[in-house]
Structure 1
Amino acid sequence: MAKEGRGIVATILKNLVNSLRPRQMFGNEMGKDHLGNTYFEIPADPRAGKRRAERWFAPKEKEDFEQQVPAEWEAWLRGRRSEAPKEEEVLRNLALMQVKKENARKIAEREAASRDSSSLGTEVKGKESFPARKEYEIMPGKPQNK
């Protein structure tokens, strides 16, 4: 019975000492993106009971609630990647995205031009709209009259 009491007192004292230890309150700056956002992280500390790192970003404009975040940084913020992306990787993917947007714009212009230039004849509805083929019979055993 006495051993249980010491265990509780020891646990309380251990928790008190751990609570008085200094801990990291501000994050380490992990990088910046081309939009001006700054990214921070406080690493995980299993001794203190933190299994996951805390990650966040400070936007360039504080009041902008529809702030864009590059896909690489968003994956890092959500914990889908362990290492913060390098600036070269983000810039390479941004250049690729701009090339794809330009190609999509050119294709859309080409399709719009082809739609305008192609003249479709008047639309014929009914039996006349179907093609007439000489090799097919309308009724079995009787050739087509046309």
Structure 2
Amino acid sequence: MAGNKPTRDLLGIIWQNFWRSLKPRQFRGNYIGEDYFGNKYYEIPPNPSIGKRKASRWFEPADKDAFDQELTAEWEAWLRGRRDDPPTREELVKNLQIMEMKKRNAAELEAHYSKDKDAGALPKQVEGETIGTFPKYNDYEIHPGKKIR
């Protein structure tokens, strides 16, 4: 039964690859979703039969002229292939609410501690210091155990 072993026909392989290359390819991606900035995300799925092992993912920005586009962390992870499934609307809304809560808390802390800073919470510098030298404070010892004269 040695005759049933398939042979490798080089010309046949070349012809099959040429024939597969003439098949139409997908150039327009499938619409996947949109974030709250207005960016639209697309994907062309992998096709191992033509040698395409990874999906092609990209986004179309809401403002095509702006260089500093903002992306949500969830969509960026999907674009870079760190996650397989695109983020859901509920996940985006939940993370947006958490982000807004953190901004509110940071503003409250900034307002609280700005009052303390105005009251003089930091020690004052010794007079006679010049720019470029390290500050010297009366509260700290320069040499441990020795008093300042």
For the 8 Å contact 2:43–2:56, the answer to whether it is kept is yes
CA shift for structure 1 position 104: 0.7
Matches within 5 A, 1:15-34: 15-34=17-36
Cα distance change of structure 1 residues 49 and 124 upon mapping to structure 2, 3 Å threshold: closer
Partner residue of 2:50 out of 28, 48, 53: 48
Q: Gapped runs of 5+ residues in structure 2?
A: 1-7, 128-137, 141-149
Secondary structure at 2:9's aligned position in 1?
helix
One-letter code of the match for 1:74? E
- Look up the match of 1:139: none
**TM-score, with structure 1 as normaliser:** 0.76
The count of aligned residue pairs is 126
Secondary structure at 1:41's aligned position in 2?
strand
Higher share of residues assigned helix: 1
Cα distance change of structure 1 residues 119 and 16 upon mapping to structure 2, 3 Å threshold: closer
Cα distance change of structure 1 residues 49 and 112 upon mapping to structure 2, 3 Å threshold: same
CA shift for structure 1 position 115: 2.1
Partner residue of 2:91 out of 89, 92, 100: 89
One-letter code of the match for 1:103? N
Q: Considering only CA atoms, is the larger Rg found in Structure 1 or Structure 2?
A: 1
Q: Distance in 2 between matches of 1:120 and 1:13?
A: 80
CA shift for structure 1 position 121: 8.4
Q: Gapped runs of 5+ residues in structure 1?
A: 1-5, 131-146
Q: Percent same amino acid at aligned positions?
A: 44
Partner residue of 2:10 out of 5, 8, 11: 8
RMSD: 2.7
Q: Confirm or deny that 1:61 pairs with 2:63.
A: yes
Cα distance change of structure 1 residues 116 and 78 upon mapping to structure 2, 3 Å threshold: same
Cα distance change of structure 1 residues 13 and 118 upon mapping to structure 2, 3 Å threshold: same
**TM-score, with structure 2 as normaliser:** 0.75
Residue-by-residue CA offset, 1:8-61 (whole Å, 9 max, x unaligned): 210121012101112211100000000000000000111111111000000011
CA shift for structure 1 position 88: 1.4
- Look up the match of 2:104: 102
CA shift for structure 1 position 91: 1.5
Secondary structure at 1:98's aligned position in 2?
helix
Q: Distance in 2 between matches of 1:121 and 1:44?
A: 63
Partner residue of 1:77 out of 76, 79, 92: 79
